[in-house]
A and B are shown apart, each in its own frame.
Chain A
Amino acid sequence: MIKPQYNKYLQPLNSPIQTLTDVKIGGIPAWQFGVKQRIQTRRVKASALSLSNIASLSTNGVGRGGFTNGATLFLSSTLTPLAPIAQFLNFAVPFVAIYQGTNLVSPDPNFQIYPTIGGSITPFSYTVQGMLDWHLYNGTTSAWGGAIQNNTGGSQQITFIVQWKLFNVNSGTQTRT
């Protein structure tokens, strides 16, 4: 009978684990193959799939301007995939905020108008609506649309900020408008 031998991790030297650490595929240890190898194929069918690091963040889109009492502004942000992925649907979530004032460097949460109301804003001094917009959505572009009416009794400046979080599964680029 052969006496069992063990490595420094107390793994039997003739075990499947030991074999996997020794066998190399294309210079990569077999146990690392699925981690370090880039695989290209037209179709993958799997009963379970674990993806990591597939979300990207856009830079902030920013708009600012002033409007008088009773006036209404329209607001929108679209995310459009560019060639060579222009025909593919993107999947993205917009994060939107509207502030009173035009401090673009660090908007003060006390002056937030939408979606929450900051402590320095009188409730219902603005009428705001906004949502993912079917009208601006054209099959591939993701879009947020909204409007804001000034009911404060005077002229106001506002800042509108949108940042998109998107699945970036194809390493493509997108443009914002």
Chain B
Amino acid sequence: MKKLIVYKDGSQFYMDGVTIGLHGGVIDKEIDLTHATDEEKKSIEENPHDDALIAKIKARG
């Protein structure tokens, strides 16, 4: 599963087949990027609060 984890402090971790995260951090949101294009992935990483794009990607699954 390809996903982006965004923490409350703004830290972001992209993972595809591994787990990586901030020790002691609090997760703000987890975004499933399995069905995202490379361009969409880049866009989400730049703005993880683009809920319209996140919903569009999620609808493909």
Q: Which of A97-115 contact B (CB under 8 A)?
A: none
In the complex, what residues of B have CB within 8 A of residue A61's CB? 15-18
Taking a contact as CB atoms under 8 Å apart, the answer to whether B18 and A160 are in contact is: yes
Taking a contact as CB atoms under 8 Å apart, the answer to whether A63 and B19 are in contact is: yes
Report how far A162 CA is from B17 CA in the complex, Å.
Answer: 8
Report how far A62 CA is from B14 CA in the complex, Å.
Answer: 8
Tell me whether chain B's interface is mostly helix, strand or loop, or mixed. Answer: strand
Size of the B side of the interface (Cβ < 8 Å), in residues, is: 15
Query: With A74-B23, A147-B23, A177-B1 known to touch, is A67 a contact of B17 (CB < 8 Å)?
Result: no
In the complex, what residues of A have CB within 8 A of residue B24's CB? 72
Taking a contact as CB atoms under 8 Å apart, the answer to whether B20 and A177 are in contact is: no
What are 12 A-B contacts with C-beta separation under 8 Å? Answer: A62-B14, A62-B15, A63-B15, A63-B19, A65-B22, A67-B11, A67-B22, A71-B23, A72-B23, A74-B20, A76-B19, A160-B20
Interface residues of B (CB under 8 A from A): 1, 11-24
Interface residues of A (CB under 8 A from B): 58-67, 71-78, 147, 160-162, 176-177
